[in-house]
Amino acid sequence: MKLQLHIATVGLGLLGAAFAHAAEPGCTLNAVAYPTPPYYVESAQGATGTDKDMFDELARRTGCALKLSADSRVRIWEQIRRGTPQMTLSAIPTPRRREVAEFVPYAQGHYYVLASRAAADKARTMAAFEADPSLRLLVIKGYSYGPTLDAWVQRLRGQGRIEEAGDFRAVVRMLRVRRADALLALPTAWSQVHEAFDESEAPVPLDYTPNERHVVALAMALSIPEPERQRTRQALQAMMADGTLHAILRRHVGEKAARAATYTGE
């Protein structure tokens, strides 16, 4: 009986502590999502996406109010560099970004080149693509694709062979009207590309960097006070440990893609 009473007392104490933490005043997650599937999509029924669900869960676990907006990658990073105390998900760390933000890895990704059938026949490798001056590549302004692909993009840019757009939908439209010959995409985005093409004209996936995986992270501006960053960091790590993060990814991209995105360490 005493043991049962002790357990009940401890349980109530923990519950009370949880409610006390949830009621902490002045705590707000200023979050910005990139408005493209599967990360964040707005509709008449409301917003959905991996990043929307993750931010909702981070707010619940930290006890903070959530202030969520959507913007382009370029503007998100411009604001962080200006000192705006905000955070964003699905971010790829780069040396320049690390100067202004803390990164908490939670997933990994692998970009493929999706090329027109004619381009795929001529350029099965990165070297072959680069050696053909007639081939052009589409990228999203402000994006990072990982060290090897970023270096390749810069070389093509120096040759005047890069076409840029503000978001993924625009890049897909430009590929469809043949403004360029290929784009870069994660497997989770392939369905958006294929929906824009007839089956006979669907772009061909080419793996130019088979041994490279890049980190996908929560980026928190260094202008956010350290206690708030620590609270959010711990909440995200707990989501990874208890399977909540995997469940969110599975809900939006399917089990196979969610497993492939499982973070295995930098």
Q: Which residues of the chain have pLDDT under 50?
A: 1-23
CATH architecture of the domain 112-206 equals 3-Layer(aba) Sandwich (3.40)
Give residue 25's pLDDT.
56
- d(CA 16, CA 222) in angstroms, rounded, equals 31
Two domains, one topology: 2-108+214-260 and 112-206: yes
CB 87 within 8 A of CB 78: no
Give residue 264's pLDDT.
87
Answer positive or negative: Cα dihedral of 125, 127, 130, 133. Answer: negative
**Can you state the angle between helices 226-241 and 50-62, rounded to 10 degrees?**
110
CA angle 223, 220, 189 (to 5 degrees): 145
Provide the CATH number for the domain formed by 2-108+214-260 in this structure: 3.40.190.10
CB 89 within 8 A of CB 33: yes
- d(CA 132, CA 117) in angstroms, rounded, equals 15
The partner residues of 101 in beta bridges, in order of sequence, read: 221
Give residue 217's pLDDT.
97
Give residue 102's pLDDT.
98
Domain ranges of the chain: 2-108+214-260, 112-206
Give residue 187's pLDDT.
85
Of 128, 44, 41, 145, which Cα lies nearest the Cα of 93? 145
